[in-house]
Copies of this chain bind each other. A is one copy, B any other.
Amino acid sequence: MDFFQEQAVTSSDKAFFRLRKEIVEGVIPSGTKLSETELSTKYQVSRAVVREAINRLEACNIVERKANIGARVVSLSPEGLIELYQVRESLEGMAARLAAQHMTATEITELNALLNSQSDEVKNAELYYQEAGDLDFHYRIILGSKNSHLISMLVNGLYHLVRMYRVQLGMAGPRVTSAFDEHRHIVQAISNRDPELAEMLMRRHITYSKNNIEAKLQNSL
């Protein structure tokens, strides 16, 4: 599931990853107050490492912190989702544009191979893998941009929030196949070294995706 190996070296890393995982997957519900002392006993580490983990979560926009009061998990809302996807549209559009310029031929070949392997899964409607496959696709294009700021913002920041929305709304829907076709077209544009088109297609793709998840959100929230 995690394509990019984040390896925890310090104890604080471990706490950060664990906490993030539990929040994204809804084990710790959105809106929850994060008590440093409580978490430190739960995780069997000192308050200092929990504190550092929470600070890093704040930098990811996964928790909100107020001085002398504490941190709480962000709450999910239609407005928040829209804002998130507006930024995604902007950044991933640029990523696609840059990918069309900077991806190597072999990277593009591998991207095509990925789509081919996913093609079967789409027919068989293996939704779980499709969801992971979607992440994998976007992830490769982001990396293909070769822009470290872009990569960091999307991979370390926004994508965990995106996943949080998806997981907690129980994604996987009728958009699977159409999204797959959109992926195809984007790769085609990258293949043709057409930055403008790649950006435009990616932006549309994300807009559609936003509309889809937004519709679900209306029902479940």
Contact = CB atoms under 8 A, between A and B. Distances in A.
A68 interface: yes
B56 A86 contact: no
A149 B98 contact: no
- A interface secondary structure, majority: helix
Interface string A51-67: 01001100101000001
A16 to B, nearest CB: 11
Interface stretch (A89-97, A172-180, A186-194): A89-97
Given A9-B67, A61-B152, A67-B10, A87 B147 contact: yes
A148 interface: yes
Contacts of A52: 55
A86 B102 CA distance: 13
Number of copies: 2
Contacts of A98: 86
A29 to B, nearest CB: 21
Contacts of A150: 83, 86-87, 90
A111 interface: no
A155 interface: no
A45 interface: no
A113 interface: no
Contact of A61 (B9, B84, B149): B149
Interface string A89-118: 111011000100000000000000000000
A214 B55 CA distance: 34
A134 interface: no
Given A10-B68, A61-B152, A90-B90, 5 more contacts: A55-B55, A55-B56, A56-B59, A59-B59, A83-B147
